[in-house]
Structure 1
Amino acid sequence: MSEAAGITEDAFLGGQLRLKQKRSGHRAGHDAILLAAATQARAGDRVVDFGAGIGTAGLALARRVPGIRLDLVEIDPELAGLARANAAANTIAAETIVLDVTADAQAFAAHGLGPDSVDVVLTNPPFNDPARHRGSPDPSRHTAHVATEETLHAWVHAARRILRSNGALTLIWRADGIADVMAALSCGFGSLVVLPVHGEAGRPAIRVLVRAVKGGRAPTRLLPGLVLNEESLVPKREVRDILEGRATLPLAEP
């Protein structure tokens, strides 16, 4: 399959962002846009997107908050190449780094990501439980979706290491893994804000968005849940505003 046949160009944020991605394998979706809309950042902040893929979440955040210093960290060289091309095509300044998020501190420092050097980390880690989720035979899709027992703790640890004191980590995870999220954040993070995400009203949450502050001491806050779809399964108006870049989520508010 030629590159032209194997690559699509898709619009995000109501057309404000156009991203090239592989036709097969892991494809960017609503999770990345919700993550960007939940991330608080200001111009001048150094922001790192862990497991950036083609750059969707980090670039969406950069489109909303001009002037951030953005690093896109991705283990797959092909996806990192697409992320680099996407940043350039959308005239967004970003550094793309091919790096395993579970690498040691020395590897991070070699790429300019030393301890206490970053203001914001956002991440959509692999989060499907391999005991209950049959992994895709496509390597990139498997890597993007299926977690090992240590994945979440390793990614949170890496974020804690590079964040400055009072720097923030924002992540999205499956809702039935909220206990794992709280356990991973219990060392070194506080001031948690948790937003459950429901596919439909009256149904259990399918995702949680969590913002945590390195060294934070404020009590944990559980926000009212976000319901994505009407009964007809059409996205709710407020959700469309978020997905099209006209609104943010409460976690992004100062």
Structure 2
Amino acid sequence: MSDPVLEVTEDAFLGGQLHLKQLKSGHRAGHDAVLLAAATAARSGDRVADLGAGVGVAGLAVAKRIGGIDLVLLEIDAALAGLARANADANAIKADMVVLDVEADAASFAAAGLGPDSVDVVLMNPPFNDPVRHRASPDTARGIAHMATATTLMKWVHTGRRILKSRGMLTLIWRADGIAEVLSALDHGFGSLQILPVHGDAGLPANRILVRATKGGRAPTQIYPALMLNDEPGVPNRKVQEILAGRASLPLATP
């Protein structure tokens, strides 16, 4: 029996610097992935792991901005992983593709070449919606991509901590109203937090936070001035447009 044919679209990211295929329906990458990439601090030569990579948008965007990184894309869904691999090839970006659950045990990660203390930088966009408060999508892949359990964030951060080298950096994006969960998860083994609130519109509460943390870091927590996606409803912020076009990065991206 042949595999079902995936319906995909090809979409431009970073102002056309990346052309990526993604599923026509279900979870589709957008601003969150690009902002996560723009907040990720890495240097040429770093081993960078994108956990829960989907079709690879965030990790590939980091590779586009910072040449010479050793990129690993990790994704549980084999179909999405196949698209991520194809996207890396189509954009001439070298990347290793690992089909694995982010919550898998240490032995499984080591077998995939991601043993303890083996990575310089981790980025992640974990499932973040509480199924009690948000109705799950009938699309299975979309549900997996967005729905979290009470332990999802803690387990993803634990995985990041395990594979990161000492002083390695983890960058994540999460719901702004879940900031207490983020701080709790990062309280075990991380420090030197840098937090950037993200607002859809000026004058409205933040709906996302970008957070960078250092394994073993001891510097005080810093909170940056908020990022407004729109200066007012329907009026995109010029700085954000530069970031989405791949011509600028966020303060958290400075190593």
Q: TM-score, normalised by structure 2?
A: 0.98
Please tell me whether residue 21 in structure 1 is matched to residue 22 in structure 2. yes
* Equivalence for 1:143: 144
Which residue identity is paired with 1:179? A
SS of 2:59's equivalent in the other structure is helix
* Equivalence for 1:129: 130
* Equivalence for 2:78: 77
Which residue identity is paired with 2:186? L
* Equivalence for 1:187: 188
Give the whole-Å Cα distance in 1 for the aligned partners of 2:233 and 2:148: 32
Give the whole-Å Cα distance in 2 for the aligned partners of 1:74 and 1:233: 34
* Equivalence for 1:89: 90
Which stretch has the larger CA shift, 233-242 or 57-66? 233-242
SS of 1:219's equivalent in the other structure is coil
* Equivalence for 2:68: 67
Which residue identity is paired with 2:93? I
SS of 2:180's equivalent in the other structure is helix
CA deviation digits over 1:33-61, x for unaligned, max 9? 00000000001000000000000000000
Identity of aligned residues (%): 69
* Equivalence for 2:169: 168
- Structure 1 residue 85 displacement after superposition: 0.2
- Structure 1 residue 234 displacement after superposition: 2.9
* Equivalence for 1:222: 223
Give the whole-Å Cα distance in 2 for the aligned partners of 1:234 and 1:85: 35
- Structure 1 residue 233 displacement after superposition: 1.8
Which residue identity is paired with 1:182? L
Point out where structure 1 has 5 or more consecutive residues left out of the alignment: none
* Equivalence for 1:156: 157
* Equivalence for 2:241: 240
- Structure 1 residue 230 displacement after superposition: 2.5
Give the whole-Å Cα distance in 1 for the aligned partners of 2:212 and 2:150: 22
Say how many residue pairs are matched: 253
CA RMSD of aligned residues (A): 1.1
Structure 1 stretches (4+) deviating beyond 6 angstroms?
none
CA contact (8 A) 2:201 2:233 kept: no
* Equivalence for 2:111: 110
SS of 1:224's equivalent in the other structure is coil
SS of 1:172's equivalent in the other structure is strand
- Structure 1 residue 3 displacement after superposition: 3.9
Q: TM-score, normalised by structure 1?
A: 0.98
Give the whole-Å Cα distance in 2 for the aligned partners of 1:79 and 1:201: 34
SS of 2:34's equivalent in the other structure is helix
* Equivalence for 2:179: 178
Give the whole-Å Cα distance in 1 for the aligned partners of 2:173 and 2:235: 22
Which residue identity is paired with 2:134? H
- Structure 1 residue 172 displacement after superposition: 0.1
Give the whole-Å Cα distance in 1 for the aligned partners of 2:119 and 2:8: 32
Give the whole-Å Cα distance in 2 for the aligned partners of 1:231 and 1:208: 19
Give the whole-Å Cα distance in 2 for the aligned partners of 1:222 and 1:42: 23
SS of 2:33's equivalent in the other structure is helix
CA deviation digits over 1:69-96, x for unaligned, max 9? 0000000000000000000000000001
- Structure 1 residue 232 displacement after superposition: 3.7
- Structure 1 residue 202 displacement after superposition: 1.0
